[in-house]
């Protein structure tokens, strides 16, 4: 039975040869990323509960988390959260099996709290946020599709992926991960709410970084100014590892030292003072926001990792694009993948799996088409491997 795989040349200018490129990443502490992270952690918590009790993952979708910003009063060397941010966990789950009620709300809240403790180092989970779980029982029709014993798509939707990352995309991703990774050991003043935007114009790249600063770690304005300079210098040094293009880095450009305007926070998170967050408003499954590349508006985080194609196909498309590039290296410069499902149909047999490639000079489609088709066919046949990666936290969803 055919999997409807179509491989064709992509008629576009190779991304590295385009004059302009814009790339964004909302860091791990951005309100939208926190919403994504909470939704995904709740889903993984439910998956593990279902597997432990029933040996398989039952129907659920927790991709509607909402964050309502609080209020705070940061100041150099101190500060206080005046009103906690509100976190509302929303979605659907299997709440009862054969008359046995399941502790889905307790599991969800525990998973969410553990996620915040792990990723938000200056947030007091007991006092700086409130949490409400409004996860309810799922749609009967969708649960019917889910529980047939076959892996049937629970939606008519599509996933999109591309590969490889351009230099600019890699710089943006690596910069945020560096700031919220190794840099934290030497610069505790920098909070987790970091956003990185890059604009490449021909061979000049400008990085704009917005980084929430932790007020308790910064005694005065001179220390703040020195931290901003150090952050910019280190980000520039890191970025230069990934390109020979000319790079400039600007940090916290909304600051106005003469007017006493600084990006100070108590918790290192902008959600403490009015910034709201929602699932699916930030990074795509590849970790970036890329207006010069194909994108899906589908929220990946929080959807069930078995039959929800809005999750499975976006992750698979991204993986496929990069697998094809790596296996066809030297023949293929750029890969775009789009996979479309139909509700109720097996998820390993999409309506179409479309692969478009930019070929290297002198390479003919006949040389690569059969191998690319084989890569896609094999990945669809083993699509359940994606489920295990997601449940075990081995693949990023935002």
Render pLDDT for 15-65 as a digit per residue (tens, 0 to 9). Answer: 999 999 999 999 999 999 999 999 999 999 999 999 999 999 999 999 999
Classified by CATH at the fold level, domain 167-278 comes out as: GMP Synthetase; Chain A, domain 3 (3.30.300)
DSSP state of 270: G
User: Please, which residues have CB within 8 angstroms of residue 223's CB and are 6 or more apart in sequence?
Assistant: 76, 189
Closest CA to 376 of 22, 6, 106: 6
Question: Domain residue spans in the chain?
Answer: 5-14+155-164+292-391, 31-141, 167-278
Q: Counting runs of H as helices and runs of E as strands, what totals does the chain give? A: 9, 18
- What pTM does this model have? 0.94
Inter-residue contact 338 to 293 (CB < 8 Å): no
Classified by CATH at the fold level, domain 5-14+155-164+292-391 comes out as: GMP Synthetase; Chain A, domain 3 (3.30.300)
Rounded CA separation 229/250 (Å): 9
The pair phi, psi for residue 267, each rounded to 5°, is -105, -5
Q: Which residues of the chain have pLDDT under 70?
A: 1, 138-150
Inter-residue contact 30 to 270 (CB < 8 Å): yes
DSSP state of 199: E
CATH 3.30.300.10 fits 31-141, yes or no: yes
Inter-residue contact 347 to 151 (CB < 8 Å): yes
- Tell me what pLDDT residue 139 has: 53
Q: Comparing 5-14+155-164+292-391 with 31-141, is the CATH topology the same?
A: yes
- Tell me what pLDDT residue 148 has: 53
């Amino acid at each position: 039975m055919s999997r409807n795989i179509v491989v064709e040349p992509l008629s576009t200018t190779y991304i590295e040869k385009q004059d302009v490129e814009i790339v964004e990443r909302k860091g791990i502490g951005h309100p939208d990323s926190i919403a994504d992270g909470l939704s995904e952690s709740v889903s993984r918590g439910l998956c593990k509960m279902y597997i432990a009790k029933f040996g398989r993952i039952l129907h659920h979708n927790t991709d509607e988390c909402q964050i309502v910003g609080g209020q705070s009063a940061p100041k150099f060397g101190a500060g206080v959260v005046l009103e906690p941010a509100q976190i509302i966990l929303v979605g659907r789950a299997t709440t009862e099996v054969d008359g046995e009620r399941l502790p889905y709300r307790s599991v969800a809240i525990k998973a969410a709290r553990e996620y915040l403790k792990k990723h938000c180092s200056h947030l007091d989970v007991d006092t700086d946020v409130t949490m409400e779980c409004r996860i309810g029982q799922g749609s009967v029709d969708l649960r019917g599709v889910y529980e047939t014993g076959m892996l049937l798509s629970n939606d008519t939707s599509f996933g999109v992926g591309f590969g490889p990352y351009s230099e600019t995309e890699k710089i943006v991703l690596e910069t945020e991960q560096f700031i919220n990774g190794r840099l934290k050991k030497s610069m505790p003043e920098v909070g987790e709410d970091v956003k990185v935007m890059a604009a490449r114009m021909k061979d000049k790249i400008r990085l704009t970084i917005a980084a929430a600063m932790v007020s308790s770690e910064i005694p005065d304005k001179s220390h703040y100014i020195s931290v901003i300079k150090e952050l910019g210098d280190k980000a520039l040094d890191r970025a230069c590892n990934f390109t020979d293009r000319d790079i400039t880095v600007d940090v916290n450009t909304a600051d106005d030292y003469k007017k006493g305007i600084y990006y100070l926070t108590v918790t290192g998170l902008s959600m403490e003072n009015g910034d709201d967050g929602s699932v699916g408003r930030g990074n795509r499954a590849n970790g970036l926001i890329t207006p010069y590349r194909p994108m899906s508006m589908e929220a990946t985080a929080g959807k069930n990792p078995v039959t929800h194609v809005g999750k499975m196909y976006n992750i698979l498309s991204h993986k496929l694009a990069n697998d094809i590039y790596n296996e066809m290296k030297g023949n293929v410069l750029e890969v775009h993948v789009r996979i479309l499902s139909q509700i109720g149909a097996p998820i390993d047999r999409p309506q179409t799996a479309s692969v478009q490639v930019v070929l290297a000079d002198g390479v003919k489609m006949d040389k690569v088409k059969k191998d690319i088709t084989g890569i896609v066919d094999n990945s669809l046949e083993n699509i359940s491997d994606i489920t295990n990666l997601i449940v075990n936290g081995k693949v990023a969803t935002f």
